[in-house]
Amino acid sequence: MEISNVEKEYHHEPHLVYSCQYHVIFCPKYRRKVLVDGIDKRLKELILEKQNEYQYKILEMEVMPDHVHLLIDVDPRMGVYHVVNRIKGYTSRVLRAEFPELRKRLPTLWTHSKFISSVGAVTLEVVQKYIEDQKGK
């Protein structure tokens, strides 16, 4: 996935200007390597599908067999924690319905844990490169 605009984008709303990007990582339960064989592709589609409804924008995304990296731009009125929980809940529900083997291998798709780091101390390019480089490991 390529970031079409690597410049830090400022969103302008009535009484609010913001730029809030976060690096998010979450994993399947027991860190099982289940995000393969089409599940990874479908997961990406599902995450992209809810951008407008959940008020976020995916700047970069990589799905590894045992974890997911997102570079996400979130409206601060929504709260990144809340947005990530909604993404995880929605994708778990749909993927477990579409891929019954997930229900056989795991009691739930995702762990409760997540890593969320604001992207303020480093440039978006640095985080983008880090996420892209994950595929080679």
Catalytic residue at 90? no
Residue 1: the pLDDT is 47
pLDDT along the chain (137 residues), means of 10: 60 90 96 97 98 94 97 93 97 97 94 91 74 77
State how far the Cα of 65 lies from the Cα of 62, in Å rounded to an integer.
Answer: 10
Return the residue matching tokens 């480093």: 122
Residue 119: the pLDDT is 84
Asked if 125 and 52 count as a contact pair (C-beta separation under 8 A), the reply is no
Catalytic one of 18, 54, 90, 130: 130
Q: Can you list the domains of the chain with their CATH numbers? A: 11-136 (3.30.70.1290)
The DSSP secondary-structure symbol of 136 reads G
pTM over 0.75: yes
